[in-house]
Amino acid sequence: DIQMTQSPSTLSASVGDTVTITCRASQNINRWLAWYQQKPGKAPKVVIYKASTLQIGVPSRFSASGSGTEFTLTINSLQPDDFASYYCQQYNSYPITFGQGTRLETK
Amino acid sequence: QVHLVESGGGVVQPGGSLRLSCVVSGFNFNEYAMRWVRQAPGKGLEWVAFIRHDSSHVYYTASVRGRFTLSRDNSNNTLYLEMTRLTADDTGVYYCSKCDFGEFGFYYYMDFWGKGTSVTVSS
């Protein structure tokens, strides 16, 4: 199975900050990576797919990059609505696997 | 508008069974693959099962293989997850999710999710 490792597990930031979350795959997943945002008690919502493609309707302050085994999600100029948990997920091969999550909290 | 509505969750004793359903609307169900993803209380996301649009391929995570059965009724826009021999480790919120069109007929991410249905396995 492909292991997905996110860092950090928790990130404290303020409105207006720029933050970056890293996701590492235990083996090459090419660009088959998605990022999901999840708020407490809610379903996840896709933010990025194919490593760097912004899902329709997601603000342009979200961006992502990477390929192979190293990926990043960056949120520029944090807004109050962005404080949530973020998960990376590889869909290169089965079993589909998620990172353990990064909780983005208000400093 | 795409909608996915899960139902069928509840409290069940260890060793028991449940059947989850996911009724969808707002898209051509028979054209899209689907997945179930679960989340244990306070934990991260775990993929459970996948089914192609035509049911030609069905995959399961190892921990549920042989106990869970995923199926779909394209004429009724409904996805089913039959769960048997349930254990405490199966406790969590179960989300039904729609896959995108996919690339090369294999690489799918999940573009829409239902709100989930809660399953608690406890004596």
Residues of chain B neighbouring A100 (CB-CB closer than 8 A)? 44
Contacting residues of A for B113, CB less than 8 Å apart: 43-45
Write the residue in B59, B110, B116 that is nearest to A94 by C-beta: B59
pLDDT value, residue B102: 85
pLDDT digits (tens, 9 = 90+) for A86-101: 999 999 999 999 999 9
How would residue B103 be classed by pLDDT, with cut points 50, 70 and 90?
A: confident
pLDDT at B106 over 90: no
Q: Tell me the chain B residues in contact with residue A99 when contact means C-beta distances shorter than 8 Å.
A: 44
For every residue of chain B, DSSP letters joined together read --EEEEE--EEE-TT--EEEEEEEESS-GGG--EEEEEE-TTS-EEEEEEE-TTSS-EEE-TTTBTTEEEEEETTTTEEEEEE-S--GGG-EEEEEEEE-S-BTTTB--EEEE---EEEEE--
Q: How far is A78 from chain B (nearest CA, A)?
A: 23
